[in-house]
Amino acid sequence: MALDVKLIRDGRANPCVATIGTFDSLHVGHQEIIKRVVSQANALCLIPSVITFEPLPQTVLQTNHARMLGLSQKLTLLFEMGIRQVICLRFNSPFAQISPSEFVKHYLVDKLNVRLLVIGEGFRFGHQQQGTVQTLLKYAAQFGFAVEPMKHVQTINAKVSSTLIRQALMAGDLKQASHLLGRHFSICARVTHGAKRGREIGFPTANLAKNPAIFLLNGVFVTQVIVENKKYQSVANCGTRPTVKGKQQLLEVHLLGYEGDLYGKRIAVEFLHKLRDERHFIDITQLKQQITQDIQATLSYFKGSP
């Protein structure tokens, strides 16, 4: 589905209505902005577009920043929201030095053909985030395009943000994370070969080791896995597996009722509910007993779900 989005990495874009940001979570606040982009683009007969960055500025400027969405997953979600053109700007140290005026003239006007830019009211851009909404409005009048600021979407006591979602995930509060995202938090990646310890003890798992979002979670979770457009109930462990003296953070998912080879397939793991924290067991027998209990708890969860 993501392939239906026109992805521009270095080149000129078609005339568009656009928004700009990292969109690392595509939460409900982002979704309101994107809805406006799509509706305005349709009204003006222009292409609904998103301008974003790869790598994410946070991963360049901060250490140990675990992104929530990979580019492929982000493109798929944007397409589902109605976006048809994504402009991906390469963020690096020289790019971070670009002044607000240079960014507007060189990128928004000359290269990207932005006719209307929809942004959040706290939008900042350019070197050291010197550019504000007022700066953008001034340049828009100068260069002949329009700007539409939008108010932040609020929760009961704070604006919706990727930071709030990160905090909810790290606290194991999947209900809050889902509320802020407007969907279940999910991790998409290809299944890789592991040590096959799960298979040896009777609980084969799909292993996903290379998605940075796994560092936001720790414990055992009720999940559902999407494989080739089919959903399977599942239970997942995200952590280092202390019982077998593991050191690398891994996501291991045991699919209930699935038969087949998952190696090399791209799957999506949706996180529904946290069952417990990861912990050390004195032997494999105790571990197997606990896994059996986790599976029963997962089945009970789905029986109680609408």
Mean pLDDT to the nearest integer, 237-248:
82
Q: Residues of CATH 3.40.50.620 domain(s) within the chain? A: 2-150
Structure tokens at 106: 């060189």
Digit-coded pLDDT (tens) for 83-137: 999 999 999 989 999 999 999 999 999 999 999 999 999 899 999 999 999 999 9
pLDDT at 223 over 70: yes
pLDDT value, residue 247: 74
Helix (H) or strand (E) holding 135: helix 133-143
Structure tokens at 132: 């504000």
pLDDT at 17 over 80: yes
Strand positions, DSSP E, 121-192? 146-150, 185-190
- pTM for this structure? 0.91
Mean pLDDT to the nearest integer, 249-278:
93
The Cα 233–Cα 255 span in angstroms is 6
pLDDT at 286 over 50: yes
Mean pLDDT to the nearest integer, 264-285:
93
pLDDT at 254 over 70: yes
**CATH class label, 2-150:** alpha beta
Q: Residues of CATH 2.40.30.30 domain(s) within the chain? A: 185-304
pLDDT at 75 over 80: yes
pLDDT value, residue 156: 67
pLDDT value, residue 195: 63
Helix (H) or strand (E) holding 293: helix 284-304
Which one is the CATH code of 185-304: 2.40.30.170, 2.40.30.30, 1.10.3470.10, 3.40.1010.20? 2.40.30.30
Digit-coded pLDDT (tens) for 142-195: 999 999 999 988 776 778 999 999 999 999 999 999 999 999 999 999 998 866
Could you tell me the strand order of the sheet in which 47-54 lies?
A: 6-8, 85-90, 47-54, 16-20, 114-120, 146-150
pLDDT at 10 over 50: yes
Question: Residue 264: what residue type?
Answer: G
pLDDT at 305 over 90: no
